[in-house]
C-alpha cells in the first residue's frame, strides 16, 4: 500500500495551493459578502484547464486521474467552497458526455466545454423530486425528429452561465419501472422557452448561483438525446454521481482543512490568563480531534478516488467518503467556531463562512442518509466487500 501522492500529483497540488493562496483566499470573504461573481477567478480556472478535468485529451481536456481530480476540489474548497461548485457540476456533465455521449455529441461539445468557452451544469432536482429522481415531472414528448420539453428544475448550479445543460426528463411517462422511461437531453440554453426564473437564496455556498430553470415547450432535436438511446438516463446520471461524490468528499476535506488551519493560527496568537490558548488542554483536545478526523477523511477520499482510477464500481466507496468527510467538515467548522469564541461568529473571520458552507456537503449529490443506505445495500449484495 502506498499512502503518498506521486511526484506529479504533489507538483500539481503545489500549483493548486499557490493559486488558491494567491488568487482566492485574499478576496473570498469580501466577494462572498458582497455577492460579487468571481469572474477573474473563473478566467484563471479556464487558463489552468480545470474546466476540462474529466474530458479526454483528444478533445482538449486534462483527463485527470481521480486522485488529482480530488486534489482540485480539496484545495479550491480550502479557499472558497463556492468556487469548487462552479467546477463541480460542469465536470460531472463533461464526464457524462465523454462516457455516454455519441461521437457527434463529443466532437461538438467537449472541446468547447474543456476550454471553458462553453459552460454547463446538470438539471436533475425538481421542486417535488430530489432524492427520488424517479419522481421527476419534467417530460419530453417526441414530435417528429424533436422533443418538446416541459418542466421545472431547481438548485441548478451554473444555470445563468450555462451554454448547454444536460437535463433528466421522462421520455416515457408510462414506463414500469419508472427509470426505464427516463433519458438525458443536452439542451441548448438559448432555446426558446428555456428560462432561468430566479436565483435561490442560500445560507452558504455563495460565489456560484443556484437557480430555478423553467422549460416551457422547449424544442430539442432528437440528435441531442445523450447517447442516442432513450431509457438510459437514470443509469447515465447515477454513474456520474459516483464520481460527483468524490468531488463532494474532497470539498469537505478542504473545508475541514481550512477550519483546522484557522483554528491553529488563532489559538497560537490568542492569549487568556497570561498564555496562548494552545496551552489549555480543552483546546488541545479539539485540535487533536480535528486533525485526526481530517486525515481519516482525506485518506478515505483518496481511497475512493484511487478505486475509481482502477475502473471499479465505486458507489459504496464514494458514498463512504462523501458521508464521512462531510460529517467531519460539519464538526470541524463548529469546533473552529468554538475555539474562536465570539470571533468565530463574526464575519471578520473565515470560520463563520465555513460553518455556513459545510452543511451542504451532507446534502449535495445525495443526502448522507441515502449514502448510508447505498453503503448498506452494497454490503448486503456482496458488492461492497471490506477487508
* Residue 340 to residue 59: CA distance in whole angstroms: 47
* Residue 289 to residue 295: CA distance in whole angstroms: 10
For Cα atoms 284, 255, 267, give the angle at the middle one, nearest 5 degrees: 30
First to last CA, the chain: 14
63's grid cell:
483527463
Q: Where are the alpha helices (DSSP H) in the chain?
A: 7-19, 25-34, 39-47, 66-79, 81-100, 103-115, 233-269, 281-309, 315-340, 351-357, 368-381
pLDDT at site 94: 98
Whether 58 is catalytic is no
Query: Parallel, antiparallel, or unpaired: how do β-strands 146-157 and 182-188 relate?
Result: unpaired
pLDDT at site 35: 93
Can you give the residue ranges of every domain in the chain? 7-115, 133-231, 235-381
Q: Going residue by residue through the chain (387 aa), what tens digit of pLDDT does each one get?
A: 788 999 999 999 999 999 999 999 999 999 999 999 999 999 999 999 999 999 999 999 999 999 999 999 999 999 999 999 999 999 999 999 999 999 999 999 999 999 999 999 999 999 999 889 999 999 999 999 999 999 999 999 999 999 999 999 999 999 999 999 999 999 999 999 999 999 999 999 999 999 999 999 999 999 999 999 999 999 999 999 999 999 999 999 999 999 999 999 999 999 999 999 999 999 999 999 999 999 999 999 999 999 999 988 899 999 999 999 999 999 999 999 999 999 999 999 999 999 999 999 999 999 999 999 999 999 999 887 666
* Residue 17 to residue 28: CA distance in whole angstroms: 15
* Residue 64 to residue 52: CA distance in whole angstroms: 9
* Residue 172 to residue 365: CA distance in whole angstroms: 25
pTM, 2 dp: 0.96
Q: What is the CATH number of domain 133-231?
A: 2.40.110.10
pLDDT at site 387: 64
Buried-exposed string 327-344: b where 16+ CB fall within 10 A, e elsewhere: bbbbbbbbbbbebbeeeb
7-115, which class in CATH? mainly alpha
* Residue 42 to residue 212: CA distance in whole angstroms: 22
Read out DSSP for 197-238?
EEEPP-SS--SS-EEEEEEEEEEEEGGGBGGG-TT-HHHHHH
pLDDT at site 385: 66
pLDDT at site 312: 82
Longest CA–CA span in the chain (Å) reads: 80
Buried-exposed string 169-203: b where 16+ CB fall within 10 A, e elsewhere: bbbbeeeeebbbbbbbbbbbbebeebbbeeeeeee
* Residue 288 to residue 291: CA distance in whole angstroms: 5
- Domain 235-381 adopts which CATH fold? Butyryl-CoA Dehydrogenase, subunit A; domain 3 (1.20.140)
Set 126, 335, 352, 365: catalytic member:
365
Virtual torsion, Cα 214, 175, 125, 150, nearest 10 deg: 0
Amino acid at each position: 500500500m502506498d499512502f503518498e501522492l506521486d511526484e506529479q500529483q504533489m507538483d500539481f497540488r503545489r500549483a493548486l495551493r499557490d493559486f488558491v493562496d494567491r488568487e482566492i483566499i485574499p478576496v473570498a470573504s469580501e466577494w462572498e459578502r458582497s455577492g460579487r461573481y468571481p469572474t477573474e477567478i473563473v478566467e484563471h480556472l479556464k487558463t489552468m484547464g480545470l474546466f476540462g478535468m474529466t474530458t479526454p485529451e483528444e478533445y482538449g481536456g486534462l483527463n485527470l486521474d481521480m486522485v488529482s481530480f480530488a486534489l482540485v476540489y480539496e484545495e479550491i474548497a480550502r479557499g472558497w467552497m463556492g468556487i469548487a461548485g462552479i467546477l463541480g457540476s460542469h465536470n460531472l456533465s463533461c464526464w457524462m458526455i465523454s462516457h455516454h455521449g455519441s461521437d457527434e455529441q463529443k466532437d461538438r461539445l467537449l472541446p468547447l466545454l474543456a476550454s471553458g468557452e462553453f459552460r454547463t451544469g446538470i438539471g436533475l432536482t425538481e421542486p417535488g423530486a430530489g432524492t427520488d429522481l424517479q419522481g421527476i415531472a419534467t417530460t419530453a414528448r417526441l414530435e417528429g425528429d424533436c422533443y418538446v420539453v416541459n418542466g421545472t428544475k431547481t438548485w441548478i448550479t451554473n444555470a445563468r452561465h450555462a451554454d448547454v445543460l444536460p437535463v433528466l426528463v421522462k421520455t416515457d411517462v408510462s414506463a414500469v419501472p419508472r427509470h426505464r422511461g427516463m433519458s438525458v437531453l443536452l439542451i441548448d440554453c438559448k432555446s426558446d422557452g428555456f428560462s432561468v426564473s430566479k436565483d435561490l437564496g442560500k445560507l452558504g455556498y455563495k460565489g456560484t448561483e443556484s437557480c430555478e430553470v423553467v422549460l416551457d415547450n422547449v424544442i430539442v432535436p432528437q440528435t441531442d438525446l445523450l447517447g442516442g438511446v432513450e431509457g438510459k438516463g437514470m443509469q447515465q446520471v447515477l454513474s456520474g454521481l459516483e464520481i460527483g461524490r468524490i468531488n463532494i468528499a474532497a470539498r469537505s476535506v478542504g473545508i475541514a482543512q481550512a477550519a483546522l488551519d484557522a483554528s491553529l493560527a488563532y489559538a497560537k496568537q490568542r492569549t487568556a490568563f497570561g498564555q496562548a490558548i494552545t496551552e489549555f488542554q480543552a483546546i488541545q483536545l479539539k485540535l487533536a480531534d480535528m486533525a485526526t478526523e481530517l486525515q481519516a477523511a482525506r485518506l478515505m477520499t483518496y481511497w475512493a478516488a484511487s478505486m475509481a482510477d482502477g475502473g471499479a464500481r465505486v458507489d459504496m466507496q464514494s458514498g463512504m467518503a462523501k458521508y464521512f468527510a462531510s460529517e467531519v467538515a460539519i464538526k470541524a467548522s463548529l469546533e473552529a467556531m468554538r475555539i474562536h469564541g465570539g470571533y468565530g461568529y463574526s464575519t471578520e473571520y473565515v470560520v463563520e463562512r465555513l460553518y455556513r458552507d459545510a452543511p451542504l456537503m451532507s446534502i449535495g449529490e445525495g443526502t448522507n442518509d441515502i449514502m448510508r443506505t447505498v453503503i448498506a445495500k452494497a454490503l448486503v449484495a456482496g458488492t461492497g466487500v471490506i477487508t
